[in-house]
Structure 1
């Protein structure tokens, strides 16, 4: 069962997928329609999930499930990954590349490769206060309250 994204309970589980490039307006519109359709049909062992989906900052696919209503299972998570892979092929964009980190730089999403990170920290281009889109966030409440978050308040803190 689909529920509007802004009506998810704070404890809802989220999965965040980051696009490897900016998405065009046409791609964003298509993704939003497709994501809502997927969330409406998403199920776990034949039981519909109380789920939602959103495209944030024109770049991040967020799938969500109210785990208190119906817990997601390995099969339902596998179905969501298949869905994301289908989008990748359809659009010619990667959503599963975890070697790129996203930062908010002057109002724009900037991707930095993991190997580049240390140099960017050393030059001061990225510091502990630079806003970071942490794709490891796992619940809706944290997404609403602390996303993006200062890099120093994430797993990146070890670089500062």
Structure 2
């Protein structure tokens, strides 16, 4: 059942899919409809399954699922299959978790890890640059540990 993501508990599971480009304004409403349709029918369960989504910075698709229902591998596969469909339809990458999303001023950038390492070496970004840890797993972690300085992320090994 689709619910607003802000009504879910802090323990709700999250999956973050970074897009290789911003979604265009004309794509957002259509994308929201597709996401809500998917989330509404995602898991057929006798138990009450609450799930949601969000689009942040016009660049990240985030799925939420209340942690009181166990998700099977088939449920996760269904989500990934849906994301693959979006990836093909919108002609962008959503599944490459090894690329880096980071802030430069008010803008969110997306770079291949190799290019990001070069930027660090050239001091185009610093240890204070905010990166997105797209491997967070709970709503709480998304809120408090998703946007962090490089020094507090796994990217700190490149400093």
TM over 0.5: yes
Corresponding residue of 1:7? 7
- Equivalenced residues, count: 159
Q: Which runs of 4+ in 1 moved over 6 A?
A: none
In the alignment, structure 1 segments of 5+ residues that lack a partner are none
The 2-side partners of 1:45 and 1:5 are apart by 19
CA deviation after TM superposition for structure 1 residue 146, in Å: 2.8
Change (3 A) 1:48 1:37: farther
In the alignment, structure 2 segments of 5+ residues that lack a partner are none
Corresponding residue of 2:94? 95
The 2-side partners of 1:47 and 1:84 are apart by 25
Corresponding residue of 2:31? 31
Corresponding residue of 2:22? 22
CA deviation after TM superposition for structure 1 residue 47, in Å: 5.4
**3-state SS of paired residue (1:43):** coil
Is contact 2:134-2:146 (8 Å) kept? Answer: no
Corresponding residue of 1:86? 85
CA deviation digits over 1:7-64, x for unaligned, max 9?
A: 1211111111111111101111111111111111111667563111111110000011
The 1-side partners of 2:133 and 2:61 are apart by 13
The alignment's C-alpha RMSD in Å is 1.6
The 2-side partners of 1:148 and 1:101 are apart by 12
The TM-score normalised by the length of structure 1 is: 0.92
The 2-side partners of 1:113 and 1:82 are apart by 23
Corresponding residue of 2:61? 61
The 2-side partners of 1:44 and 1:10 are apart by 23
CA deviation after TM superposition for structure 1 residue 104, in Å: 0.8
